[in-house]
Chain A
Amino acid sequence: MTQVLTKYDKYVTAFQSLERSQAAREPQWVRDIRQRALSRFSELGFPTARRGNENWKYTNVGPVANANFEYAFGASRDGEKAIELRGIAPWGQDWVNLVFLNGRYSEVLSTKPSSAYAARVTNLADAFLRDGEVLEKHLARHATFDDDGFTALNTSFLRDGAFIHIPEGESVQAPIHLIFIATGSDRPSASHPRTLIVTGKHSKATIIESYIALSPAPYFNNAVTEIVVGDQAQIEHYRLLLDNTEAFHIGTSQVYQGQDSKFTSTIFAKGAALGRNNIHVLLDAPGSSCVLNGLYMTSGTQHMDNYINIDHAKPHAFSRLNYKGILDGKSRAVFGGIVVVRPGAIKTDARQSDKNLLLSRDAEVNSKPSLLIFADDVKCGHGATAGHIDGDSIFYMRSRGLDIDTASRLLIYGFAREIIDTVQVEPLRVYLEKLFLGALPSFKLLFGERA
């Protein structure tokens, strides 16, 4: 019998070799999930913008599908010790850091909390052995892979990543920082980091995920995070996409919210040749609320796609979405926002806004903020804008003596600041201010304006 070679065979081969070498220590249920995910991925493949696939209408993942990424799980870890975290990532004196190199946990670089620490913060491989019960209940239960090829692929390679468990009633003061570092290698590598965050009733925590590159070499980051926000819990989540400009980054956050819970997500995206930020929030209980903020700044030929789905499944839930983009060069930004209000989800209060600043003739914005509403007693709205810096605002500042360049920088920064100012963690905000302020694109005079 001749075996039919499909284009996904390389993934199957990588899967099998890992399964042989690593699987023995892992529980059977994990191996089952991986196996199911792999067969689902083989069926689904990577998404295409073919007819009817509205979720990928403006983003072509062909470059990811066609590239020959090597799964870097077993890559050499020489030089690990030489990495100085403080120089490459936001840093806080009291933060708990878990570091992953090419998707694999680095014991050397991480600072796990002591046993007296209120929460459990560890790597998944460790958690498989010691936190089986919580894991089995939640892992891959929220980020399902039935209809999403990237999540299916991530789940096929689900072996390492982060596990955070905040027990009921615990309030964790210091932020927990998960740092995913692509070290770079001769051959383009792929990693599929996985994070599970489970927070108990009345708990409180701040979690930061940073994705960082140490070299300009191309790689593929396919990260999936599952977050369970317990009843009355308050969780702040930050995600920094600071990949290099050759990278492909597909990031998915799947959030489940309990009663009266509060979830805040803030995304900062600056890197990646092709970036996709998926956030899916399921407001599955009355009184739950989420605030999703995002700031992305692109230049060159970067492509950044934010796809945010807020699912109001139960009554009396609240959601706010506020995304902003600054586009320069020939870059392209895509925004797809969906607010769904399911039948019976009355007293829903939802509002989404996507604003884009275009700084160059060749930049492009595609925005699709949808509302799908099946309940009557609701208050929903959305707004989207795209355009250049306002000429009247520039004139106002010039009439106070500022030159065009300074005026436009202040305005662009002012545009970005609305998102940066929402950051509650002081060292992180300072880091972001520097990062974004230092990289503001220069202003160019465009059609219709005279010096």
Chain B
Amino acid sequence: MTQSNAVTTKKVISRTSGIQESDYRWGFVTDVEADVAPKGLNEDIVRLISHKKGEPQWMLEWRLKAYRHWLKLNAEEPKWANIHYPAIDYQDIHYYSAPVSKAGPQSMDAVDPELVEAFNKLGIPLQEQKRLAGVAVDAVFDSVSVATTYQETLEKQGIIFCSMSEAIKKHPELVRKYLGSVVPYSDNFFATLNSAVFSDGSFAYIPPGVRCPIELMTYFRINQADSGQFERTLIIADKGSYVSYLEGCTAPMRKSHQLHAAVVELIALDNAEIKYSTLQNWYPGDKEGKGGVYNFVTKRGKALGKSSKISWTQVETGSAITWKYPSVILQGDNSVGEFYSVALVNHYQQADTGTKMTHIGKNTRSTIVAKGISAGHGNNTYRGLVKIMPSADNARNFTQCDSLLIGDKCGAHTVPYIEVRNPTASMAHEATTSKVNDDQLFYLQQRGIAFDEANYMIINGFCRGIFKELPFEFAMEASQLLRVSLEGTVG
């Protein structure tokens, strides 16, 4: 194995973020000693990451292949999205940052108390006695997974839920078979970058016929300044299995932008179902548009088996920029794909998000319901592709995109792409854009409800169809996020 020439340094991250703003209550910084790679990206950094994680040679080679492909792209990011941002300097980013620990934590007690406290503050207790009931959590802090709860409970059923690093070591046959099988390393600029430098993420495998008894959850936290976060998640639902997976994300408030480029791959075999829910609440930047996370994420599921089902639900309220299209390749006959989304932009946030439904199998069905809310100077774009291939006899798609505008400085855009190559298919797309209905507002006010509250009620109602797709606690959290994100936008 080739040794890397790059070395990491240990440093304590400053407690002050340099910003005082109370609106984003997830904005605190945690003091932990971190193992940080020097800024910049080169082959040595890729080797360093792989070495730090003690990866086998095949993994390093895959990373290098991705890195070399990325170089050929000449730092040319995709241009078609409706987002604007200054050029990202890929040499000014730390590609590896991990809280220092002697060895991987052997038990929860061995986890750095500072980290446990950090997750406590986020509402994600990791200790045995306090952990969330009915939810197994993989906590990812900057580049690495620091703890996974309920592992034993899951193991009894043959369910594997662990960090990606661990999976590469313990379950190489599954990782080698499926990693890159849905999102190849050459898929797009950000996925290629991720393939080269991904640090950690979650891995889940549900064996045949098993219905995962609890929700699996990964909580992502960016802490390190100027660090990029590149997690990689892989979920495989074997024949006849079911899993519901949740993902939450926050970051401290910082003046500079942070890059997040994750890749998520889902595979559902015959009759399997994966339900994937996201609450994305990365730091959105301040009221003037300073700081915030650049969120360039590739999420894709392959409904590989017959009658398999993949369902994405996302509530996107964070990030300065969101570029994200959770998609489903409907390959198995009778497979089902769903996409339910609420995307909210405020201040100077920009979101270009949607989905791709690619119908290949016969009798495949897809449903897309996207709700966009634009406030402040925010710009929100729904961008979605429904592609019906010649083989997809009797494919069905229904798409509904609704946008709400609050204020006259924001934008709401709907850009659907429809490609139909089979006459037995039927697809229907509907979209509307409007502001909050004055008559509804007046009706509520007439019943004594304050203007702001009335607005919130209407907007919450506008999103309800999406929220109901979320697990209960997540739905409550989503409603809260909506309220916080909307504060001060009306009236």
Contact = CB atoms under 8 A, between A and B. Distances in A.
A and B touch in the complex (CB under 8 A): yes
Contacts of B415: 368, 370-372
A382 B423 contact: no
Given A361-B423, A373-B411, A387-B423, A368 B416 contact: yes
A380 interface: yes
Interface stretch (B177-185, B336-344, B400-408): B400-408
A205 B472 CA distance: 62
Chain B CB within 10 Å — which of A51, A343, A370 has the most? A370
B424 A383 contact: no
B420 A447 contact: no
B204 to A, nearest CB: 36
A373 B405 contact: yes
A363 interface: yes
A368 B419 CA distance: 9
B431 A447 contact: no
Chain A CB within 10 Å — which of B390, B408, B423 has the most? B423
Contacts of B410: 374, 376
Contacts of B421: 364-365
B79 A51 contact: yes
Contacts of B403: 371, 373
Contacts of B435: 376-378
Interface in A337-380: 343-344, 346, 356, 358-380
A379 B431 CA distance: 11
A144 interface: no
B424 A378 contact: no
A394 interface: no
B393 A385 contact: no
Chain B CB within 10 Å — which of A54, A344, A361, A381 has the most? A381
B112 to A, nearest CB: 46
B80 A51 contact: yes
A380 B433 CA distance: 5
B121 interface: no
A386 B425 contact: yes
A135 B348 CA distance: 45
B160 interface: no
B211 interface: no
A365 B386 CA distance: 11
Contacts of A375: 405, 408
A381 B431 contact: yes
Contacts of A367: 416-418, 420, 429
Contact of A366 (B409, B413, B418): B418
A375 B407 CA distance: 8
A387 B424 CA distance: 6
Nearest to B397: A386
A74 interface: no
Interface in B354-396: 390, 393-394
B422 interface: yes
B408 A346 contact: yes
A346 B407 CA distance: 11
Interface residues of A, number: 41
Contacts of A362: 390
B353 to A, nearest CB: 15
B430 interface: yes
A234 to B, nearest CB: 28
A111 B90 CA distance: 69
Contact of B425 (A346, A366, A373, A387): A387
A52 interface: yes
A77 interface: no
Contact of A368 (B390, B406, B418): B418
Contact of B390 (A356, A361, A372, A386): A361
A54 to B, nearest CB: 7
Given A370-B413, A373-B412, A379-B434, A365 B429 contact: no
A381 B416 contact: no
A375 B410 CA distance: 7
A382 B431 contact: yes
A141 interface: no
B419 A378 contact: no
A118 interface: no
A54 B80 contact: yes
B416 A364 contact: no
B393 A447 contact: yes
A358 B432 contact: no
A446 interface: yes
A448 B362 CA distance: 11
Given A346-B408, A368-B417, A380-B433, A361 B422 contact: yes
B458 interface: no
Contacts of B408: 343-344, 346, 375-377
B419 A365 contact: yes
Contacts of A368: 415-418
Interface in A48-79: 51-52, 54
A343 B418 CA distance: 28
Contact of B423 (A372, A374, A388): A388
A384 interface: yes
Given A367-B420, A377-B408, 14 more contacts: A358-B423, A361-B422, A364-B420, A369-B416, A370-B415, A371-B414, A376-B435, A382-B414, A384-B416, A384-B428, A386-B420, A387-B423, A447-B394, A448-B393
Nearest 4 interchain pairs by C-beta: A387-B426, A358-B423, A376-B405, A367-B418
Interface of B: 79-80, 390, 393-394, 403, 405-435
10 contacts: A51-B79, A51-B80, A343-B408, A358-B422, A362-B390, A365-B420, A370-B414, A376-B405, A376-B435, A386-B427
